[in-house]
Amino acid sequence: MLEEDPKSIFTRWLEEHSSSVLKVARAYTLTRDECQDLAQEILLQAWRSLPKFQGKSSPATWFYRVALHTAMNWHRNDRLRRARQQPFLELEDRAINEPECAEQVQQREMVEQLYQAIQQLPKTDSALVLLYLEELSYREIAEVLGISESHVGVKLNRAKKALSTLMNGASDGT
Fold of the CATH domain 99-174: Arc Repressor Mutant, subunit A (1.10.10)
Q: What is the pLDDT of residues 23-78, one digit of tens each?
A: 888 887 777 888 888 899 999 999 999 888 888 888 888 888 898 888 888 766 64
Q: What is the pLDDT of residues 108-164, one digit of tens each?
A: 788 788 888 888 888 788 888 888 888 888 988 888 888 899 999 999 999 989 988
Distance CA 74, CA 166 (A): 24
Distance CA 113, CA 8 (A): 37
Enumerate the domain spans of the chain: 1-95, 99-174
Which amino acid is residue 120, in one-letter code?
Answer: Q
> Torsion angle of alpha carbons 161, 149, 113, 172, nearest 10°?
-10
Which amino acid is residue 159, in one-letter code?
Answer: A
**The pLDDT value given to residue 71:** 86
Asked whether the CA dihedral 68, 130, 22, 38 is positive or negative, the reply is negative
- Rounded to two decimals, the pTM is 0.59
CA 54 to the chain's CA centroid: 22
Fold of the CATH domain 1-95: Rna Polymerase Sigma Factor; Chain: A (1.10.1740)
